[in-house]
Structure 1
């Protein structure tokens, strides 16, 4: 399985925030939760692409999220089948593991048997917030922004109908200092009478970058534990430089794959590429102290998880333990009969001859 990012968000009065890549902001006092976020990273050493899909829950009819990016970004709709195709590539290997002695669901204990289971940055004199571009993509209203002042960014969002959570301006300060830019996305379905819910269309964000980075710092504002799942497509097996305040990352899959269909579209062809699936838990989001930067591992060691199916060992359809027990019983019987026969022969040979 692939791995995924999940969290439940706060109350009606004090909404919490989610998204490993940014901050989710509901409108007014409504509530929205990201039940699941799956992200795909593609990096060729120069250009980074992030494709993400949200599954949301709550009573908000509109909401927005903010994603800091290190360079000038382009945004377009992604393809939902990308996640299905990557799921097929990383499905765990199924293996059969035999066991000898019968278990609870085996005969004679049970009558049945069961199965086991590069960017243009704002220069001097630039306005505090600049709108690089704005597009309507499906149910998304996307604004690509520059900002030299986090408070000005907050005011821009408020002017567009969203109240910034307390403290978010301070969390944006490191990005402003590094002259990053921002992708602000309004989740505004055309049917305004319905609350946001279910799987949203994926978004594909592309920007120049000489390092592979996944923005995570804003997730420190989340109120509940988070899980991060990433698919990484690069020239080599990739790993996070540090756990950035979470549990040690684990690898769910690592191996060279030949891109097909939606994966080939993302990578730019069918040339083999290394796919790494990474999972990580963040029990205390407040401890997140930076963004994920990923680097190549020392060796491209392949790895695939295995799902074991435990199966009772048989010989010709007969349980091996039954044959072994029956064989042992026959051997024991033969030994006893042999002992008794030898004893009788000895007794006969020691009997005196008649007429002697």
Structure 2
């Protein structure tokens, strides 16, 4: 006779759920994150790397496109390869890190205070008091189908600019130089190869060869010919985790994506003309003085079905994000208006009641004194 297992107690069930969640978390940490918002990042086998933050500024004048990208990474990787497809041959140089501070200042939200009348959960009496040089880089090894059109060292980066007629050949070239690409990446590169795009392959290494690659990396500045404004995103469909895009677009006019390419609807956080005439932002912008800041989430990266193509918006309507700070309406720093209102209403009611009583008393008729009855005299 088979005995049915005893049901789990509440405590045992909670322990089982906690162990399952821990196992899933460990598994996700062990898996290398080889895709980010623009390009693919590949650590050496047995190492892992994660992109914690990615911010890009794009300038387009109708003929030439520039992308300045800054990455912040973490993990135990000591050597990482990063591959980015571009429509034409790219010039690569180090970007100015101060550019992103200037962009943040230009697009910072407007802060406003918004008052509310009735107390909320954190207000009295419900609660509260009321009161972020590559050294020893391997030499380039030619592979069939791959043409190395340039190689240079920029700070901690070893940059190779490649053309490839087959994604397998590109994978072979990178493997010959110390990196193994995930299998799915070969297929993801096929659309770029079919369109004759080129690649920028960059080896990222910390200056201290014994250290791991981490923190905020020096920005990279790519320049290439393009008759349309495009921001490569297709490789992000290989990411295992949700992706968040922060994109600054400099052009003659306000710009917008043609489609959501599988993510949430892109949101504009800033739109307006640049007034600065000096500094890194003015230098990058040149004569393209209209800045559009966009943000977008990709909760299911596998749904990404293309690259971002941006077009002119119907109008150059300016926009700035407004952040509201809600505060209880008070008189002075401490006295809530709602309390004064209630006290005032109570006082008015009390005075009114007193007046009604007084008026009622005044209207009450005065009764005459009872008549005096004189008993009759006898006899």
The answer to whether TM tops 0.5 is yes
Q: Which residue of 1 aligns with 2:96?
A: 79
Q: Deviations over 1:200-235 (max 9, x none)?
A: 100000111111100011111111221111111112
Is residue 60–residue 288 contact of structure 2 (8 Å, CA) maintained in 1? no
What SS does the aligned partner of 2:236 have?
A: helix
Within 2, Cα distance between the matches of 1:209 and 1:10? 38
| TM-score (normalizing by structure 2) | 0.82
Within 2, Cα distance between the matches of 1:334 and 1:288? 70
- Deviation at 1:272? 7.4
Superposition misfits of 4+ residues, deviation over 6 angstroms: 353-356
Larger Rg: 2
Stretches of structure 2 lacking an aligned partner (at least 5 in a row): 1-25, 132-143, 373-379
How many residues get paired? 333
- Deviation at 1:175? 1.0
Choose from 268, 273, 280 the match for 1:262: 280
Within 1, Cα distance between the matches of 2:75 and 2:239? 16
> Structure 1 residues 73 and 314, CA, compared in 2 at 3 Å: closer, same or farther?
same
Within 1, Cα distance between the matches of 2:318 and 2:284? 22
Q: Deviations over 1:316-353 (max 9, x none)?
A: 55422222222212221221121111111111x44337
Answering whether residue 307 of structure 2 is matched by residue 307 of structure 1, we say no
Within 2, Cα distance between the matches of 1:277 and 1:39? 10
> Structure 1 residues 103 and 174, CA, compared in 2 at 3 Å: closer, same or farther?
closer
Choose from 292, 303, 320 the match for 1:276: 292
> Structure 1 residues 9 and 193, CA, compared in 2 at 3 Å: closer, same or farther?
farther
What SS does the aligned partner of 1:167 have?
A: helix
Q: Which residue of 2 aligns with 1:332?
A: 349
Is residue 9–residue 223 contact of structure 1 (8 Å, CA) maintained in 2? no
Q: Which residue of 2 aligns with 1:136?
A: 153
Q: Deviations over 1:62-116 (max 9, x none)?
A: 11111110111110001111111111122221111111123344344457236xx
> Structure 1 residues 94 and 302, CA, compared in 2 at 3 Å: closer, same or farther?
same
Answering whether residue 114 of structure 2 is matched by residue 97 of structure 1, we say yes
Q: Deviations over 1:258-281 (max 9, x none)?
A: 23411012112xx67222221111
| TM-score (normalizing by structure 1) | 0.87
> Structure 1 residues 16 and 238, CA, compared in 2 at 3 Å: closer, same or farther?
same
Within 2, Cα distance between the matches of 1:111 and 1:198? 39
Choose from 358, 366, 371 the match for 1:341: 358
Is residue 250–residue 288 contact of structure 2 (8 Å, CA) maintained in 1? no
Q: CA RMSD in A?
A: 2.3
Choose from 305, 312, 316 the match for 1:296: 312
Stretches of structure 1 lacking an aligned partner (at least 5 in a row): 1-7, 115-126
More contact order relative to length (CA 8 Å, sep ≥ 6)? 1
